[in-house]
Amino acid sequence: MSDVTNNTTESESSDQRTDFIREIVIADNKSNKWDGRVITRFPPEPNGYLHIGHAKSICLNFGIAQQFGGKCNLRFDDTNPTKEEEEYVQSIIQDVKWLGWDWEDRLYFASDYFQQMYDWAVELIKQGKAYVCDLAGDQVSLYRGSFTQPGKDSPWRNRTVEENLDLFNRMKNGEFPDGSRTLRAKIDMASPNLNMRDPVMYRIMHATHHRTGDKWCIYPMYDWAHGLEDSIEKITHSICTLEFENHRPLYDWFLDQLGIYHPQQIEFARLNLTYTVMSKRKLLQLVQEKLVSNWDDPRMPTISGMRRRGYSPESIRYFAKKIGINKFNSTVDFALLEHCVREVLNKTSPRIMAVLKPLKVVITNYPEAQVEELDAVNNPEDASAGSRKVPFSKTLYIEQDDFMENPPKKFYRLSPGKEVRLRYAYFITCNEVIKDSAGNITELRCTYDPATRGGDAPDGRSPKATLHWVAADTALKAQVNLYDHLFTKENPEEAEEGKTFKDAISTDSLKVLENCFVEPSVKTAPALTRYQFERLGYFCIDPDSTSEKLVFNRTVTLKDTWTKLQKKQ
RNA sequence: UGGGGAAUAGUGUAAUGGUAGCACAACUGCCUCUGGAGCAGUUAGUCUAGGUCCGAAUCCUGGUUCCCCAACCA
């Protein structure tokens, strides 16, 4: 287990918190329960794209294996061909890899174990612990009883072993229609745990499986299959989410009846995040109803969406580490995720200058055709990132927000008569404001102080503000997509009467700015390259970006105390 | 009207009978060629009622609240 694709920085090398699951692993190692082995697995069903909640589980399982010198398998739990697709398999492989984890040659599929599972089912039948039931679906649930009422035995519960064997074989051979029969475990129809009331092990499904094709027309249920998969792979700690706690007695029962290798199932709480939804069903709905562009829409909490948004794998791993592991439901503040993203990106992203809402500035005392190349530091947090040249000339663009004709108190930026520093360039003073007939400011006329080249004055004076800028002639035009929360409510699931989570979708989660300018140094950068636009935030090149039409996605803003100040007033 | 889990600042977590700590958020300052970063500080917590104990977030008893379970989904 190694981070092959990502460098580990300080933020990650900090000590791993010992959660209750790691405590179990440590205790097991101490007692030699598993002979020192630690084998975990990440077992997704390929029926959707992975999201940040899965990342928590991935980092837990792979992280434990890494920490204790064990292994973590990637296993597709592909037991339901009607919901699963190859596209999802590929996306999941890509996402886990991108997150920085390596399963080496241990890529497994539950469907590869179908024959073994079948054989074990036959064994259970021979033991008299499983039977073929002819009850229809609605009848099965009727016989199951309720929370407070015990169930009733199926009329087919006491078939002979021979009859069960014959019927199960014929189920496998495709002699019966879908839904006509099931194989059920014979446990206890009066158990207070409904999962133990003769759970279905196999159902008939004449469906084409994405890997086994039409070879099988019976498919194992989760409860039957999952423990067997874990057993086959000699998993030591089978980590799953809280809702499977009720299933653990069944997990244990199947393995005990068969007398085969028996991992320990441990449950932890899934992740909830403010301002987002996490269920695969709802995410699928957003995609299918075109409420987002696709699974990798940068507003989606999917791994692919976050990748496109510009989140780095390291920042997601850092986040997973910070949220911890527990056994109760909690909702993590989205701001913590953003903090983790900023923390990592601050240390790793090269800085460039870009102007999102351009305001033309003419330096009246600057020579007409002159262009200077000025030195700019690539990353003040990382000396090894070096420096680059940025062109400066008579006509520039600055940010509209960086000028105010009638500035309020504490507005440090440019205003008439005021001097500011242009980053890495010169001090300029605004002398004249030019407006169109409607009164909109269209241009600023400024003078520069030639003695301040590079951004320092010989007399030691230092303006309160430093602005970012681009030279008009050499700047590249770009589209910039500004993203915000997809939902307006902290908990979109909590919908009022007659409303759904979709009613909480934000109308300004995406703002497209078409007339942005970026410095020329980014011209040939590949898709997904991450930058900090100085004073604005972190941005990355969208995969749809071309050299003819540059497109950037805003990952997250910089912390902005000025905006905060304004909002308070 | 059954069974299974769980409750620590606004949020996420630590403390495993011995000073309730950390992070995010919020708020103050300092510093700064990014109103970024960094530095220093402030606010704020053991669900509840009893009990055991020199001492309880932790152990015991009762209560409260929340989550999960009645798919041929996982």
User: pLDDT tens-digit profile of A131-187?
Assistant: 999 999 999 999 999 999 999 999 999 999 999 999 999 999 999 999 999 999 999
A109 lies in a domain? no
ipTM score assigned to the predicted complex: 0.97
Which letter, b or e, does each residue of A104-135 get, where b requires 16 or more Cβ atoms within 10 Å of its Cβ? eeeebbbbebbeebbebbbebbeeebbbbbeb
A388 lies in a domain? yes
User: pLDDT tens-digit profile of A208-238?
Assistant: 999 999 999 999 999 999 999 999 999 999 9
- Which residues 494-553 of chain A have a CB under 7 Å from nucleic chain B? 532, 534-535
Which pLDDT belongs to residue A14? 53
A416 lies in a domain? yes
User: Residues A183, A129: contact at Cβ < 8 Å?
Assistant: no
Cα–Cα–Cα angle for A318, A324, A327, rounded to 5 degrees:
150
Q: Which of A447, A475, A503 is the last residue of a domain?
A: A475
For residue A2, give both structure tokens.
């190694």
Q: Which of A407, A441, A475 is the last residue of a domain?
A: A475
**Cβ atoms within 10 Å of A348's Cβ, excluding its own:** 20
- The CB-side HSE value for A312 (13 A sphere, CA atoms) comes to 26
A182 lies in a domain? yes
A316 lies in a domain? no
**CATH number for the domain that contains residue A382:** 2.40.240.10
Angstrom distance, A56 CA to B44 C1': 29
Please state whether strand B lies within 7 Å of residue A315 at its CB atom. no
Of the candidates A12, A37, A45, A389, the residue annotated as catalytic is A45
Which residue range(s) make up the domain with A453?
352-475
A431 lies in a domain? yes
**CATH number for the domain that contains residue A155:** 3.90.800.10
Q: What is the pLDDT along chain A (569 residues), one digit of tens a residue?
A: 333 333 344 345 557 899 999 999 999 999 999 999 999 999 999 999 999 999 999 999 999 999 999 999 999 999 999 999 999 999 999 999 999 999 999 999 999 999 999 999 999 999 999 999 999 999 999 999 999 999 999 999 999 999 999 999 999 999 999 999 999 999 999 999 999 999 999 999 999 999 999 999 999 999 999 999 999 999 999 999 999 999 999 999 999 999 999 999 999 999 999 999 999 999 999 999 999 999 999 999 999 999 999 999 999 999 999 999 999 999 999 999 999 999 999 999 999 999 999 999 999 999 999 999 999 999 999 999 999 999 999 999 999 999 999 999 999 999 999 999 999 999 999 999 999 999 999 999 999 999 999 999 999 999 999 999 999 999 999 999 999 999 999 999 988 888 899 999 999 999 999 999 999 999 999 999 999 999 999 999 999 999 899 999 999 999 999 999 988 77
In sequence order, the 6+-apart residues with CB closer than 8 A to the CB of A21 are A60, A64, A237, A239, A266, A268, A325
Cα(A88)–Cα(A93) distance, integer angstroms = 9
Angstrom distance, A267 CA to B26 C1': 34
Please state whether strand B lies within 7 Å of residue A190 at its CB atom. no
Q: Which of A158, A187, A220 is the last residue of a domain?
A: A220
Count of domains observed in chain A: 2
* Closest nt by CA–C1' to A380: B37
DSSP readout, A126-191? HTT-EEEE---HHHHHHHH--SSS-----TTTT--HHHHHHHHHHHHTT-S-TTS-EEEE---TT-
Please state whether strand B lies within 7 Å of residue A114 at its CB atom. no
A161 lies in a domain? yes
A461 lies in a domain? yes
User: Residues A65, A72: contact at Cβ < 8 Å?
Assistant: yes
Cα(A186)–Cα(A130) distance, integer angstroms = 5
User: Residues A225, A252: contact at Cβ < 8 Å?
Assistant: no
pTM of the model: 0.96
| Residue of A238, A233, A213 whose CA lies nearest to A223 | A238
